[in-house]
Amino acid sequence: MAKCFQESHEAYTRGDGALAKELSNQGKDHQQKMGELNKEASDFIFVENNKDSKPGEVDLHGLYVKEAIARADLAILDAKSRGQPQIIFIVGKGLHSQGGIAKIKPAIEELIQKHQLRTEMDPNNSGVLTVFFNSEPSQQGINADEILPSLQRKEDNCTIM
């Protein structure tokens, strides 16, 4: 993908618009395929990590932050619609993240705040959050893109993926 886009740019700079367009289209095709494969990998990781999970427990390990936000948001809406009193998110401590800084946990904490829900960290494992539902839950989902910019501002030298 990157090679096609780079060669497209070079062709355009040389004045070969036709080749630039062809290479750009190839790059877009690769980009689309990459997105499809990333989605497939994300689905596989999520299913594998959650196949032995207890009811009301969602493991978000191994996902990109944006994927984790989307999965958690769906889980919150589903739990609310089922009338569950709480949901447990396994977010990890960030031990495997670059620099050992947790990325999923702060994103999920912000998602929980946007839903105006109460959460508690597991006293025995700081990588586990329990979310408690109030009596008047919001039925509207939260877009991951609403959360990512604020996290990127908080972390000057950290790009959340």
Q: Helix or strand or coil: residue 131?
A: strand
10-30 pLDDT, tens per residue?
A: 999 999 999 999 999 999 999
In total, how many domains does the chain have? 2
The range of the structural domain enclosing residue 39 comes to 2-46
Verify that 62 and 20 share a domain, yes or no: no
The pLDDT of residue 144 is 63
Per-residue pLDDT of 100-127, as tens digits, reads 788 999 999 999 999 999 999 988 998 8
Q: Do 60 and 102 lie in a common domain?
A: yes
Region 77-82: what's the mean pLDDT?
Answer: 92
One-letter amino acid for residue 52 of the chain: D
Are 94 and 120 found together in one domain? yes
Q: Is pLDDT above 80 for 150? A: no
Does 31 lie in the same domain as 103? no
Residue 159 in domain: no
Task: Give the CATH number of the domain where residue 108 resides.
Answer: 3.30.1370.110
Report helix, strand or coil for 86: strand
